[in-house]
Structure 1
Amino acid sequence: MTQNHLSGMEASAVSVLKRAVELDQSERFQESLICYQEGIQLLMDALKAVKDDSKRGHYREKIKGYMDRAEQIKVHVNQMKEDGKYHEQIRISEDATGYSYEVLFKPYISSALTEVWVEDPYIRHTHQLYNFLRFCEMLLKAPCKVNKIHLLTSQDEADSGQQSGALAELKESLSAHGVTLDLQYSSTIHDREIRFDNGWIVKIGRGLDYFKRPKGRFSVGYCDYDLRQCQETTVDIFHTKHTKTL
C-alpha cells in the first residue's frame, strides 16, 4: 500500500470518528455507534499497512479507546431499549443538506428487518409519491430482508386517479422484487410515523416530505437527495420491543 493510500485511509477514519464523537456528545447514540464501528474498521485496515512499531502501538491504543466507548454506548442503548426509554431527537435545520433517506434511516435498519409500516397522510402529489418510491428503493438496497411494506395515507380527492395509478404501478414493481405493498386509505389520519419490525419507530414532523423543491431540473440536488436542501423539521426516534401492527 502506498503512503498516499495510507494517509487517505487515516483521513477517512479521522473524519468518521470525529463525526462519531460529535453524535455521541449530542446523545445521538445509535447514529454515533454506526460511525464508531465504521471508523474503527477503517483504522484497523490502516493498521495492517503500518510498519513502524511505535505507530502501530499508537493505532492499537486509539482503536482500543474507540472500541471501549462503542461498547459502553451499545450497553447504554440496549438498557434504554430494555427499559422502553429510548428517545433520540434530530433537528434538521432550514436549508440543511446531507439528510437523504439512506443517511437518516441507516442507523435503524438491521438484517432482522422484514416489515415496515408507513403512516403519512401526504403521499398524494407527484413529488410525494416519488418520495415514497425513493423510500422503498432505499429499503430494497439496504442490508435487510424487507418483504412487506404497509402504507396508510389519505386519498387525494382532487386527483385520486393519479395517486391510485402511481401506487398500483409501484405495488406491481415491488412485487417483482419480492416485496408486498399493503395499501390502505384513511380520511382521519393526521400523524406521521414509520415503524420497523425490529422495534425502531421514526417520527418526522413533515413525514417523508421534508425536502425543498430543487431550483431547477438541472440543478444540484435534483437527483441526489444528500445534496437536496431540506425544510426545517424534527425527527424523533423511539424503540419498543413490541411493534404494533395496523
Structure 2
Amino acid sequence: LFDDLPEQYHDSAFLDRVHFYLPGWEVDIIRGEMFSNGYGFVVDYLAEILRSLRNHDFSDRYQEHFTLSSDISTRDRDGIHKTFSGLMKILFPEGEATKEEIQAILHFAIEGRKRVKDQLMRIDSTYADVRFSYEDGEGKTFSVKTLEEEEYPRYYHHTIGDGAEASEQKSPVKTDVSEKKSVEPAEEQPQAGHVAYQENQRGISYQTLFGPYLTGAQKITLTDPYIRLFYQARNLMEFLETIARIKPDDEEVSVHLVTVEDEFKGDQQEEYFQKIQEAAAPIGINFSWEFSKDEGLHARHIVTDTGWKILLDRGLDIFQRYEMSDAFSFSNRLQEYRPCKAFEVTYLQ
C-alpha cells in the first residue's frame, strides 16, 4: 500500500509513525446528492472550531466499556488513540455516544492502524506479530481484521511471512458478534450459524448467502417490510433470479412476500409486484404477496418448507448504492462486484 510513495519514504521507521491508513477503494465517489441544501458553517468558523478542539483529548472515552489487547504496543496504541479521539471530537463533541457507537469508532481506528502494521511486516521482518483485538466488560474478545484480509484470506498473509500465519492460527476467541465470514464459495451442505459482513465488503451475492438454504424448497416466504421503492423491488427480482438458478426446470416454486404497503405510493408498489409476478410465472416461480396490517412490522426473514429460517437484519437491502442505469457497469450486472453495507445473517434449522 505504500509502494506509490517516493522511495525516500520507504523507510519502516518513518512509516511506523503513520497512525491510520484509509484505502481509496473504501471511499465513495462524491455525487451531487451528497451535498447539503441547508445551512452550514463558514469555513473560517469551522476551522476555528477544529483548532479549538485540539486542546481536548477524547482518547480515553472507550475505556469505560472496552480494553485494548495487551499485545498492542505503545506506538500502535498511540495511533489508535489519535484516530479514535479525532473521530469522537467530530462526531460526538459533547460525548453523547452510545456504547455501540463508541465500539464502531474504536473498531475503525484499530483497523486503520492494523493496516499500517501489516504493511510494515511486509517491508521489515523484524516487526513482531500483533494481535489487534479488544475486550468488553463481559470478557468477550473482538478480533479486528482489515477488509482485504476478510476478502482474500488465502493471499493476504502469504507475503507477510510465517510469523503472521502462525499468529493467524492463534487468533482471538470467536464470538457471535465479532465472527466475520470470508467470502468463499458456499458449502454444499448448509449449516446453522451466525455470520457478519463488513462495510464495503465485496464478493457477496444472494446466491452465496441463500442458495444452499433454498435448494429443494417448494414454498418460500420472504418477510420484509421495506419492499417499496424501485431499487427494493429490483432486489426482490434478483432474489427470484437466485431461486430460478437453483430450481429444477421441471418443478415449480411458490414464493410469498409479506411486506407493508407504502403510504404514498402503494399503487406503484403493487404495479412492481404484478410485473414481477408476470415475469416469474413462465419460468415456474409462483410469486404472490400480501400487505401486513401490522404497521409496526420490522421482522426480516426467509422461511422455507424444508425447515430453514434465515434472519436478515437488513432484509434484501445489503448493497451500497450503485448505478442501476449503467449497462456497462459490472456492479450493475453482477452482485459480487458491489460493495455491501455492514449486515448480519443468522441461519436456523
* TM-score in terms of structure 1 length: 0.60
> Residue 190 of structure 1: CA displacement?
1.3
The answer to whether the 8 A contact 1:114-1:147 is kept is yes
| Secondary structure in 2 matching 1:221 | helix
| Secondary structure in 2 matching 1:155 | coil
> In the alignment, what sits opposite 2:230?
126
Q: Distance in 2 between matches of 1:121 and 1:146?
A: 25
> In the alignment, what sits opposite 2:218?
114
Q: State the Cα deviation string for residues 77-120 of structure 1 (Å, max 9, x = none).
A: 8xxxxxxxx7401101100011110111122133x311100000
Change beyond 3 A, Cα 1:233–1:92: same
* TM-score in terms of structure 2 length: 0.43
Structure whose CA Rg is larger: 2
* Larger displacement relative to structure 2 (187-196 or 218-227): 218-227
> In the alignment, what sits opposite 1:184?
290
Change beyond 3 A, Cα 1:92–1:201: same
Point out which structure has higher relative CO (alpha carbons under 8 A, 6+ apart). 1
The answer to whether the 8 A contact 1:202-1:237 is kept is yes
| Secondary structure in 2 matching 1:157 | coil
Unaligned runs of 5+ in 1: 1-14, 16-21, 38-73, 78-85, 240-246
The answer to whether the 8 A contact 1:98-1:228 is kept is yes
> Residue 199 of structure 1: CA displacement?
1.1
| Secondary structure in 2 matching 1:149 | strand
Structure 2 counterpart of 1:109, one-letter code: L
The answer to whether the 8 A contact 2:211-2:243 is kept is no
> In the alignment, what sits opposite 2:241?
137
> Which of these residues, 250, 269, 275, is aligned with residue 163 of structure 1?
269
> Residue 34 of structure 1: CA displacement?
5.6
| Secondary structure in 1 matching 2:319 | coil
| Secondary structure in 1 matching 2:345 | strand
Q: Distance in 1 between matches of 2:315 and 2:184?
A: 23
Is 1:209 aligned to residue 313 of structure 2? no
Q: Distance in 2 between matches of 1:119 and 1:142?
A: 21
Q: Distance in 1 between matches of 2:276 and 2:197?
A: 29
Identity within the alignment, %? 27
Q: Which residues in structure 2 correspond to 1:1-246 (within 5 Å)?
A: 35=187, 87-110=192-215, 112-144=216-248, 145-188=251-294, 189-214=297-322, 217=326, 218-239=328-349
Alpha-carbon RMSD across the aligned residues, in angstroms, is 3.0
| Secondary structure in 1 matching 2:276 | helix
| Secondary structure in 2 matching 1:116 | strand
The answer to whether the 8 A contact 1:115-1:146 is kept is no
Alignment coverage as a number of residue pairs: 168
| Secondary structure in 2 matching 1:158 | coil
Q: Distance in 2 between matches of 1:184 and 1:136?
A: 17
